[in-house]
Each structure stands twice: as structure tokens, then as C-alpha cells.
Amino acid sequence: MPLFDQLYNFAHWLAQDRAEAEDLVQETYVKALRGFSSFQAGTNFRAWMYRILRNSFLSSRTGLKATVAFDETDQEVAVQTDRATPENILLREADREMMQRALAELPVHFREILLLCEVEEMSYQEISETLTIPAGTVMSRLSRARKALRRILQKTIAGKP
């Protein structure tokens, strides 16, 4: 099961809970095997597996709570941030743990797109297939997710004693 470790990591980030993540991964493999006939040869297998996992999450109780009405345009205002603190200063201050806390603090639609892009190193096309959103939305959502992450890091560092 080559995607096993990656799918588990992604599931745990989404659910923020070990038991729920384990259930999600299990459900994903069972659904993949059962619904294998729906997989179209020549399309992206990895995106298909992640899509099953994500759909399972979205229909779970935690997923439903985490993704209450999300409007792409509304988020723009919320994540506006200045670039007064360059990343090199941010990153010097932000250790791995702080970065993990910031990622966990992000709304789930920002967290998942950052994980798919930075951790899974998916192309925009693959992300578009996984999240079933247009490529243009991938670009804009990624940009907003990065700004939101910066904002949380800035806030954390500013609040440090």
C-alpha cells in the first residue's frame, strides 16, 4: 500500500484526531476497492484516492462541522496581510512546532490545499482533480492559504514574550 503513509498523514491533518484518521483511511481503501470499476484508466490514480478520502471526511461529522459554508470571496478580506515581515524573519522565528500549530489553526479548505501542494507536491492539475475545483480556483485558494498561514505566524510571533 504505497500511498498508505501519505493518506494517513493527510487524513490526520484533516480530522485532527488519530481514531478518526484511522477510520478515514480504512474507509478509503475499502471504497477504492469496491468502487474500482468507477476508476477511469488513464486518469490520475493518486488524485482519485485522495478524492475518496476527502469525500469520506467531508461527509463525516467532523468534516461537516469543519466546512460550514465557505465562500471563496468572503475569505479574501479575512486573510489580507501585509508583507512587512519577510518570510526569512518569520521562518527564523517560526520553528517546526509553531508551523504545525499554524497549519492546524487554518480553516480546513486552506489546510488541505497547502498540504496537497507542499507536502504531496501535487501539480495544480492534480489538486484541481482531487478537490474537484477549477485550476483558477486552485491558484487563488493557494495564494489565500499562504497569506492566511503568514498571518497566523505573524500573530503568534508578535504575541511571543
Q: Which chain residues interact with another protein by CB under 8 A?
A: 1-5, 8-9, 12-13, 18, 21-22, 25-26, 29-30, 32-33, 36-37, 39, 45-46, 86-88, 90-91, 94, 96, 99-100, 103, 114-115, 117-119, 121, 123-124, 139, 142-143, 146, 149-150
Q: Per the structure block, which three cell numbers stand in for 36? A: 474500482
Based on CB atoms, which residue is closest to another protein, 64 or 135?
Answer: 135
Based on CB atoms, which residue is closest to another protein, 13 or 69?
Answer: 13
Based on CB atoms, which residue is closest to another protein, 67 or 101?
Answer: 101
Is the torsion defined by CA of 129, 15, 13, 103 positive or negative?
Answer: positive
Nearest in space to 140 (alpha carbons), one of 148, 129, 152, 150 = 148
Least distance (Å) from another protein to the CB of residue 122?
A: 10
Q: Give the contacts of 144 (CB within 8 A, at least 6 positions apart).
A: 75, 76, 79, 110
Least distance (Å) from another protein to the CB of residue 64?
A: 22
Based on CB atoms, which residue is closest to another protein, 70 or 136?
Answer: 136
Based on CB atoms, which residue is closest to another protein, 69 or 160?
Answer: 160
Least distance (Å) from another protein to the CB of residue 124?
A: 5
Q: How far apart are CA 23 and CA 28, in angstroms?
A: 9
Long-range CB contacts for residues 74-77, cutoff 8 Å, separation at least 24: 75/107, 75/144, 75/148, 76/144
Q: Per the structure block, which three cell numbers stand in for 45? A: 490514480
